[in-house]
Amino acid sequence: MKTNKKKIGILGGTFDPPHIGHIYISKIALKKFHLNFLMWIITKQNPLKKKSFFKTEARIKLSKNITKKEKKIFIRYLDKKVKSKNTFNILSYLKKKNSKAQLFFLMGADNFINFHKWKNWKKIPSYAKIVVFSRQGYSAKALKSIASKKLKKSDWIYVKSKNINISSSLIRKF
């Protein structure tokens, strides 16, 4: 039975700064999961990392700039509206706003390694299907991570894609 349920992708993070790797996995997700659109949810601060390099406003502007030709990618900043920077709270908010939609939460394998340290990480699949993208040097660890063993197989998907050897931390070094 075919369903016309709206499918929304979510890529969250500090985007400090945004780069072509973010665009690359966004495009794969849009195509592979037949997403209606994808939101980049920019947070002021990652709860597990030190202070951001770029100010929030600059990261929002850079993200809008890099995605301006992408018709199905939208930039959102929800920290003030949700009063939280935690993925669990943001996804809870988005699910309430889009109750009939199927949500897909995208992340890199590097983040999935420490996913078990995130607030309410075991409850996140109740709001969104977790989509983990391969990352050079991280995939093997991600596939053996605590989250990979504790979450149900139906809660997450691993996507092996061409590795783009770029990261926000690598860009900040230059």
pLDDT at residue 95 above 50? Answer: yes
Which residue, among 98, 96, 40, has the nearest Cα to 72 in the 3D structure?
40
Q: What is the pLDDT of residue 166?
A: 55
* Interval 45-88: pLDDT, tens: 766 667 788 899 999 999 999 999 999 999 999 988 998 888 99
Q: What is the pLDDT of residue 85?
A: 80
Helix 56-66 vs helix 20-32: angle between axes, to the nearest 10 degrees?
60
Q: What is the pLDDT of residue 59?
A: 94
Q: What is the pLDDT of residue 48?
A: 62
pLDDT bucket at 124, cuts 50 / 70 / 90:
very high
| 114-125 mean pLDDT | 96
Q: What is the pLDDT of residue 88?
A: 95
Contact 21, 13 (CB under 8 A): no
* Interval 9-58: pLDDT, tens: 999 988 998 998 899 999 999 999 999 999 999 988 766 667 788 899 99
Question: Angle at Cα 118 formed by Cα 115 and Cα 122, nearest 5°?
Answer: 75
Q: What is the pLDDT of residue 2?
A: 53
**Global pTM value:** 0.89
What is the rounded CA–CA span in Å between residue 114 and residue 121? 10
Which of 20-24, 96-100, 165-169 is the most confident on average? Answer: 96-100
